Amino acid sequence: MNKRWNILLSAILGTSLLLTACGGNNNSPVNSGGTNDNKGNANAGTNAANGNTDLKPYKLTLIYPGTEQPDEKEVEEKMSELLTQKINATIDLQAVDWGAWNDKMNLMFASGEPADVVFTASWNGHSQNVKKGAFVELDGLLEKYGQDIIKTINPDFLKGAKINGKLYAIPTNKEIAASRGVLVRKDIADKYKMDFSNVKTIADLEPFLKIVKENEPGMTPLFESSTQTIPTYITEWDSLGDAAIPGVIKAAETSTKIVNRMEDPSYMETLKIMRSWYTKGYINKDAATSKLQANETAKTGKVFMWPESLKPGKDKEMEGSIGFPLTQIEIAPPVITTGDTTNSMLGISKTSGNPERAMMLINLLHSDKELLNLLDWGIEGKHFVKAGDNVIKLPDGADPANRPYNHGSAWMFGDQFLSYLWDNEDPNKWEEFRKFNASAKPSIGLGFTFDPEPVKSEMAVLTNVGAEFTAGLETGAVDPEEVLPKYISKQKASGLDKVIAEKQKQFDAFLTAK
């Protein structure tokens, strides 16, 4: 992506011409590969999927947050060979560092830079980007080119992803719920004979952090960053589709009253724990300003514990990318919220030169096992070897902590049930996923997504207020008893009550219709 900022003006001009010609109509022919009528275009998609590549060549971009891999180009070439056979397309994988993701996406959407398939999520401002016109409406495209998605994905995923009744992104087919807790280094836990069986609350984690602080110099007992904190990841609240917008309900309860989480006494109590841990040196000192993801830092071997959204086998899944044995501690039980069903999706940029071909790619990631595993794990024989029909392992002599293709983002793409399992994972992992999904309790807010249009001015200010206070409070870097009241006061002065009232109004209408 960095290379293309240098030709930004050309991209803007080209996109303007494209949008003028197409008028945003997903069914219109596309110069870079669509056929000359709606019926022919649909048939072309079907024929291409069957290997009859009567489509014009097209290069697709797939943009997602992560670290560019040394062997990325080789994987692109292999994926392009398959895509050429199936839909006469090649692919350009574009990983954007997590710390730069928001800024680069905002610039991309604002400038009209050409893009095709883009990762998006409820926690990453998806609904607000939809309102800005960043994504193509997908209902018609899904019906024409996404039949494999429709056949396999849980309908609750598509239901949860809709905004005002329309679909703008396709969720990853994975666990439909999430439990909350932490991941820890198992080798360190075993070394000190730690027993996590009685951990029920956040406060119960402190004795283990104390052991690491006193006995493992140079190791961070609890890693947090400005976007990955205990109060955000281990929560009983349902943010109703977008965590960036104030107003929550209790996920596991039946109350429909929307409240400001920051004013609930439980939030202050959690912040006090974070402050205590920070002053004791359990949390990294740069937590409030760090933009790193915990898994990136954990690869160094200098992190003991960090907060995560959990699922069956999350510890074993992440071992492969981190290079150390892990175990997980669940603190909050699984609940199904709109945020959980929309926390990993692929959308099609409004500036795509060929939305039809982009949807064909997403559909293949939900149906073509070879293509998906190329994207997930790389090239067989080089980046992994088969250890069974659906089980893989590293090639002999490979360094788990220094692999040339290991983006750690398989959870972002397609149908996870088609993804190979590593030899350290439970061979029944996907069956456990299904049981996990069945055991989760749906939030009463499942399927609701707030439309911020009536309060967009207030939301713009409140977003800046949140950026000013949240990271410092949730990482323990500031005294909550002093700073939280200032935060709430500034929220109210910026229109908080109006936003919550509007959210309650829309939620009540949603419940009535439901």
Can you spell out the DSSP letters for 146-203?
A: -HHHHHHS-HHHHHHHEETTEE--EEPBS-SSEEEEEEEEHHHHHHTT---TT--SGG
Q: Do 215 and 208 form a contact (C-beta atoms < 8 A)?
A: no
165 and 208, same domain (yes or no): no
Domain boundary among 334, 352, 376: 376
DSSP H helices, 337-393, are 338-341, 355-365, 369-377
Give 11-49 pLDDT, tens digit per residue: 333 333 333 333 333 333 333 433 333 223 334 444 444
Single-letter amino acid code for the residue at 467:
A
* Residue 391 covered by a domain: no
For residue 514, the model assigns a pLDDT of 78
| DSSP-assigned states of every residue in 195-264 | --TT--SGGGGHHHHHHHHHH-TT-EEE--BTTB-HHHHS-SEE-TT-TTSS-BEETTS-----B-GGGS
* Residue 509 covered by a domain: yes
Domain boundary among 376, 401, 428: 376
- Here the tokens at position 468 are 């000013």
Q: Do 234 and 307 form a contact (C-beta atoms < 8 A)?
A: yes
23 burial via Cβ count (<10 Å: 0-12, 13-18, 19+): exposed
* Residue 325 covered by a domain: no
- Pick from 133-147, 213-227, 284-298: least confident: 284-298
219 and 188, same domain (yes or no): yes
199 and 234, same domain (yes or no): yes
For the chain, the C-alpha Rg in angstroms (whole number) is 23
93 and 130, same domain (yes or no): yes
* Sequence-ordered list of residues with C-beta below 8 angstroms from that of 340, at least 6 positions apart, any chain: 160, 176, 177, 178
* Residue 412 covered by a domain: no
Give 376-394 pLDDT, tens digit per residue: 999 999 999 999 989 999 9
Range ranked top by mean pLDDT from 201-215, 325-339, 405-419:
201-215
Give 134-154 pLDDT, tens digit per residue: 999 999 999 999 999 999 998
For residue 9, the model assigns a pLDDT of 32
For residue 199, the model assigns a pLDDT of 96
CA distances from 324 to 99, 181, 186, 300 (A): 24, 18, 8, 10
* b/e sequence 74-100, b meaning 16+ C-beta within 10 Å: bbbebbbebbeebbbbebebbbbbbbe
* Residue 131 covered by a domain: yes
Task: Give 452's pLDDT tier (boundaries 50, 70, 90).
Answer: confident
Tracing tokens 């219709």 back to the chain, one arrives at 513
166 and 188, same domain (yes or no): no
- Pick from 58-67, 171-180, 365-374: least confident: 171-180
For residue 93, the model assigns a pLDDT of 97
Quote the pTM value: 0.70
97 and 202, same domain (yes or no): no
Q: Among residues of the chain, what percentage have pLDDT more than 90?
A: 62
Domain boundary among 376, 399, 420: 376
170 and 116, same domain (yes or no): yes
Give 476-512 pLDDT, tens digit per residue: 999 999 999 999 999 999 999 999 999 999 999 999 9
* Residue 390 covered by a domain: no
7 and 59, same domain (yes or no): yes
Rounded to an integer, the average pLDDT of 287-315 is 90
For the chain, the domain total comes to 2
Q: Do 261 and 267 form a contact (C-beta atoms < 8 A)?
A: yes
246 and 134, same domain (yes or no): no
121 and 26, same domain (yes or no): yes
* Residue 417 covered by a domain: no
116 and 185, same domain (yes or no): no
| Residue predicted with more confidence, 454 or 38 | 454
For residue 276, the model assigns a pLDDT of 98
156 and 187, same domain (yes or no): no
DSSP state of 37: S
For residue 439, the model assigns a pLDDT of 78
For residue 243, the model assigns a pLDDT of 77
Containing structural domain, residue 287? 178-310+448-514
CATH value at residue 92: 3.40.190.10
* Residue 427 covered by a domain: no
Q: Do 113 and 11 form a contact (C-beta atoms < 8 A)?
A: yes
